[in-house]
């Protein structure tokens, strides 16, 4: 688990990575230290730091590698797409806000180079 949030639920033991700048921004917890170092390559750590810089103040970022998947949590990000079943359609302004948020999330995927 890689977390910026101070009260994130922690699994494994705290791990120290070689990248001092990364460690200043994130905390790393792992049950397998070798696997943690394999997954957190210097390039991947830099990408996480880049996202951290770009989203500074909007939300905090946590990631978990589990069951051969990467889970990305945007802690404190606004709840999107919530509406009532019989509510009025979203306004054009709200639709534009959704579009902006979707682009940001797709940008995270591109930054992490996770797309096929």
Residue 33: predicted pLDDT: 84
Q: Are 28 and 45 a contacting pair, CB within 8 Å?
A: no
Residue 57: predicted pLDDT: 67
Span 33-59, mean pLDDT? 82
Domain map of the chain by residue range? 2-112
Provide the terminal-to-terminal Cα distance of the chain, rounded to the nearest Å.
23
> For the segment 71-80, what is each residue's pLDDT rounded down to a tens digit?
877 777 666 5
Show the tokens assigned to 101: 């948020």
């Amino acid at each position: 688990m890689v977390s910026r949030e101070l009260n994130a639920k922690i699994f494994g033991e705290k791990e120290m990575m070689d990248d001092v700048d990364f460690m200043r921004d994130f905390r790393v917890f792992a049950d397998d230290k070798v696997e943690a170092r394999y997954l957190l390559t210097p390039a991947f750590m830099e990408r996480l730091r880049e996202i951290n810089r770009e989203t500074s103040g909007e939300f905090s970022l946590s990631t978990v590698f589990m069951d051969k998947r990467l889970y990305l949590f945007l802690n404190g990000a606004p709840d999107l797409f919530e509406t009532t079943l019989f509510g009025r359609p979203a306004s054009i302004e709200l639709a534009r806000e959704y579009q902006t948020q979707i682009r940001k999330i797709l940008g995270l995927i591109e930054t992490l180079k996770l797309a096929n």
